[in-house]
Amino acid sequence: MGGTDGTVHATVRTDGVLDVALDDGGPNVLRPEVCTALDELLRTHPDAPVLLRGRDGMFSAGLDLRWMVASPPEDIGELLRACGRLLVTLWTHPRPVVVAATGHAVAAGTMLALCADHAVAAEGGAWGLNETTNGMEIPRFGITLAAARLHPTDLDRLLIAGTRLDAARAVEVGMADVLAPPDAVVPAAEERLAELAALPAGAYAGNKRRIRGADAEAILAGLDADVTTLVDGLRAAVQG
């Protein structure tokens, strides 16, 4: 099973795991078709534990800023909505989701990791919700995801300033769970996924829904309004 967009490559393995690799040969950036393909893939396999990984040295650099520069405001809005929907789908997937962040995980790349039930960060990778340094505001979905993992003091300090972190610091503040050498990231993620997948599936899904469901519903209910308020500012920022 391969992603038709050229970035999302997926296989349902014999052990039932949905093994998803992001690899566009470059920074693994997110465009509407990438977000939609990944969202549909997750929705099509609600009973599969998920391993989401990048390639060596790169998990995801986030939204495709070059694409945004060349796009009209309505298309930028489409990207933000597609990204928001994808993140909610990933965050609320009924089965365990483990991210193997095999390299840099910046901006929306960090958000993908924040959606995981467990995230392994490669030593030396860059992390952070650095929208401020790019002249952008963070969508509400990104703030909600970060608030679920970060201490309020770190949330305030890191997101307002748009601080970029190394992977070790990202683990310290809670953006990821463990740090591993690059060649050990996927094995560590596989091991944790097997542990989580062995837990009672009904209780796992139910408690995830109880803990995250209300926030997920609020994100989706306010997504259109939030994106509308962001688009003009984002358009100006990426044109710089």
As given in the structure block, the two tokens for residue 86 are 């994808």
Mean pLDDT of the chain: 94
Which domains occur in the chain, in start order?
8-197 (3.90.226.10)
Average pLDDT over residues 146-173: 97
User: Which residues, including other chains, have CB under 8 Å from residue 138's CB and lie 6 or more apart?
Assistant: 129, 131, 132, 159
Tens of pLDDT, residue by residue over 71-119, are 999 999 999 999 999 999 999 999 999 999 999 999 999 999 999 999 9
CA distance 109 to 119: 12
CA-atom Rg of the chain in angstroms: 16
Segment 191-236, tens digit of pLDDT: 999 999 999 999 999 999 999 999 999 999 999 999 999 997 765 6
Longest dimension (CA), the chain: 50
Please say if the pLDDT value at position 3 is more than 50.
no
| 43/56 Cα distance (integer angstroms) | 27
C-alpha distances in Å from residue 208, one per residue of 116, 150, 205, 235: 11, 18, 5, 35
How far the first Cα of the chain sits from its last, in Å, is 39
